[in-house]
A = this chain, B = another copy of it.
Amino acid sequence: MGNCFFSQNKSTNVRVSLPAVCFVWEMAMVVLFGIFVRYNYEADAHWEDYRKSHNISSDIENDFYYRYPSFQDVHVMIFVGFGFLMTFLKRYSFGGVGFSFLIAAFGLQWALLMQGWFHSLDPATGQIKIGIENLINADFCCAGSLIAYGALLGKVSPVQMMVVTLFGVTLYSVEEYIILNLLHCRDAGGSMVIHTFGGYYGLAISWILYRPHLKRSGHLNGSVYHSDVFAMIGTLFLWMFWPSFNSAIANHGDGQLRAAINTYVSLAACVVTAVGVSSLTKKGGKLDMVHVQNATLAGGVAMGAAAEFMISPYGALIVGFFCGIISTLGFAYVTPFLEKRLKLQDTCGVHNLHAVPGMLGGFVAAITAAFASEAVYSKTGLDNTFGFQGSYAGRSTGTQGAYQAAGTCVAIAFGIVGGAAVGLILKLPIWGDPADDYCFDDEAYWEVPEDEEGIPPVLEYNNHMAHKQQEMGESTFNIEQS
């Protein structure tokens, strides 16, 4: 019945708009790739000639072998990590994993172009030359829009998410260029450019799209036993591969290894404190799956910008220690407050997992950079780690610290302003988003298997029966579903 309802309900009928968006944008990709995108020298068949003429001793020196394993780990985080983390809702698992898939698959193509124009343009030919690092950065860029989806989960249409992604990738590429190139900040793991931007971008959109009557679908805005276990798949793959996320584009050698170590220990500390606080916040000391699924990851977010720095293992441990506490308290107290007082609905609590820890990570990096010294890094190490080369040779660590802090503010500004603007666009009545009564329901956009709709049927049946009994005071049976 719900079934027929939705199919007749224009409001969620995307049979014209979704295919139109998919095909128009994909055709645009084909044309733009045709004009602009080519292989870089490491991916081109001329590589062997190049290698020999440049005295590169072996194929193993191809950047592919330095970065491909990390790339694949990042790839898993983007598609399985983010995708399954969003399957926790009892009736929106299809939308969680399915639309994440669509968002990221489209987003990475647009990201290859946008980031390519800023970073990989071959002045000679005016073409973008892509290699392994471009694939990693394209995945990173999609993360920003997936984070935004976390704030909007269950309340928007796939068409709206395509729009969020198109603008999200565009905004990301611009703020990334400002932060990394103009301000010359370091942000190997994207605390600023990915998490801070993505978090505030999603929150601003959600704030503009505030739904006063969202309570009407409140019975669907929660998990069931097995949907929580599915979400743990996402949590764990994000948690396990975060060291790869933060080290994927770090400097070869010690840079990548140090980033991996810092992230590994930070995340470990974060789990322990998140569990401790979760237990404190609940009657009987019971743990809340929402905290375990999300707050345990804050340590990775916050280690992003300083991942490459000589923050030392105990420094990373301290970052994880406090992020586990802050993030869990955020889920327990801030998210409800934001919804009640600030009319800000944040389905997955990206405020606590991305926005705040990302911002903290930006400032951690600023402080760590400001206190960096040749004694700790060595002259070579300092220049490599902070890129004090070329026009930045001789920049002081104090100056670098100031720029890192400024970069964090740029990310926040882009997120809030950009998100507000995109939110206004999404208010147009043409996107097929669901009415307040039909949020968090896969019925709106998916062919859901007839015989099981995620509601534990018998419970509902029982409620229904109890009701019937009183009504009819007899044993006449009339059973309905959904």
Extra A-B contacts (13), CB below 8 Å, given A79-B236, A106-B272: A14-B279, A15-B280, A22-B273, A26-B276, A46-B378, A65-B65, A79-B240, A80-B236, A83-B236, A286-B445, A468-B476, A477-B478, A480-B481
Per-residue 0/1 for A275-302: is the Cβ within 8 Å of any B Cβ (1 yes, 0 no)? Answer: 1110110111111110010001000000
Known: A14-B279, A256-B64, A276-B18. A72 touches B240 (CB 8 A): yes
Closest 5 pairs (CB-CB, A-B):
A15-B285, A45-B381, A22-B276, A47-B254, A105-B271
Number of this chain's copies in the assembly equals 3
Partner of A232, one of B3, B15, B69, B98: B98
Q: Is the interface of A mostly helix, strand, loop or mixed?
A: helix
Does A170 lie at the interface of the complex (its beta carbon under 8 Å from any beta carbon of B)?
Answer: no
User: Which of chain B's residues have a CB closer than 8 A to the CB of A275?
Assistant: 18, 22, 102, 158
Cα distance A240–B139 in the bound complex, in angstroms:
11
State in angstroms the CA–CA spacing of A12 and B283 once bound together.
11
**B321 contacts A26, C-beta separation under 8 Å:** yes
Tell yes or no: A428 within 8 A of B by CB. Answer: no
Q: How far is the CA of A80 from the CA of B234 in the complex (A)?
A: 10
**How many interface residues does A have (CB within 8 Å)?**
174
Nearest CB in chain B: distance from A170 CB, A: 17
Stretch at the interface among A189-197, A204-212, A219-227, A401-409: A219-227
A217 touches B (CB below 8 Å): no
Our pick among B49, B112, B225 for the contact of A265 (Cβ within 8 Å) is B112
Q: How far is the CA of A395 from the CA of B270 in the complex (A)?
A: 46
Q: Does A57 contact B (CB under 8 A)?
A: yes
